[in-house]
A = this chain, B = another copy of it.
Amino acid sequence: MSHTPTPTPHPAGTSRAAQKEQSRRALLDAALLLLDHQNLSSLGVREVTRAAGLSPAGFYRHFRDLDELGVTLVTESLGSLHLMIEKVLAEQGEPERLIERTVAVIARHVREHRAHIRFLARERHGGVQPVRAAIAAEFAAFTEQTAAALSLQEESADWSAADLSMLAALYVEHLVGTAAAFLEAPAGSRAAEQRIAARARDQLRLISIGRRHWTSAKG
């Protein structure tokens, strides 16, 4: 008499695990959407569950905290980035063509994963320590991966490991900076995008010229 019981909370007929996964995704997607205009440290449990269509208590069936949800988002965001970087590193051909492809891949990735990339840029130096740590760890791994790929190229035959790592860090930082620049571009303005791309290509050209003429310090 006091409360009406709740009728079928899910489109019945699906497996239980699939139902749960669906809710989990709803939470992650809702959070990512809210994080477009907001910082992770100011996100609220109720806010997320409201946007995802769950009751507040439901949140705790999936995550201990918002930090945990944040770390999950980091993992997802970096997963796709990882694939992109592998794609870039696998490219072959003359340097000029390679630079062109690299920047195009970055631009495309930002266009197709805007929310993820913005999240990474925003939380890389954000106020939530575990999230910052997760991002930093993964970026370090990218740098190592890049260094390994560079060491296989003939241009770096006589490079020391330290120098390769230094160069890889420069490339990764440039990649991140370029992605962030694409983000700032007034969403959809091809003109702005092309200006950013042109500049990024020139910067990569300059760096690869430096690379070609590099001679390690203690000469």
CB interface residues, A 175-204, toward B, < 8 Å: 177, 180, 183-184, 199, 202-203
What is the interface of chain A mostly: helix, strand, loop, or mixed? Answer: helix
Shortest CB–CB separation between residue A114 and chain B, in angstroms? 13
CB interface residues, A 155-186, toward B, < 8 Å: 163, 166-167, 169-170, 173-174, 177, 180, 183-184
A42 at the interface (CB under 8 A from B): yes
Is A125 a contact partner of B136 (Cβ separation < 8 A)? no
* Interface bin, chain A: 35 or more
A39 at the interface (CB under 8 A from B): yes
Is B214 a contact partner of A206 (Cβ separation < 8 A)? yes
Is A127 a contact partner of B38 (Cβ separation < 8 A)? yes
Is A127 a contact partner of B42 (Cβ separation < 8 A)? yes
A122 cross-chain contacts in B, Cβ below 8 A: 125-127
A40 to B41, CA, bound (A): 9
A211 at the interface (CB under 8 A from B): yes
Out of B37, B121, B136, B209, name the residue touching A214 (CB < 8 Å).
B209
Tell me whether A203 and B127 are in contact in the complex, defined as CB-CB below 8 angstroms, given that A39-B39, A41-B42 are known contacts.
no
Out of B166, B203, B209, B212, name the residue touching A203 (CB < 8 Å).
B166
Most B CB contacts (10 A, CB to CB) among A121, A136, A163, A209 go to A209
Is B206 a contact partner of A167 (Cβ separation < 8 A)? yes
A213 at the interface (CB under 8 A from B): yes
- Residues of chain A whose beta carbon lies under 8 Å from any beta carbon of chain B: 35, 37-42, 118, 121-122, 124-127, 129, 136, 163, 166-167, 169-170, 173-174, 177, 180, 183-184, 199, 202-203, 205-214, 217
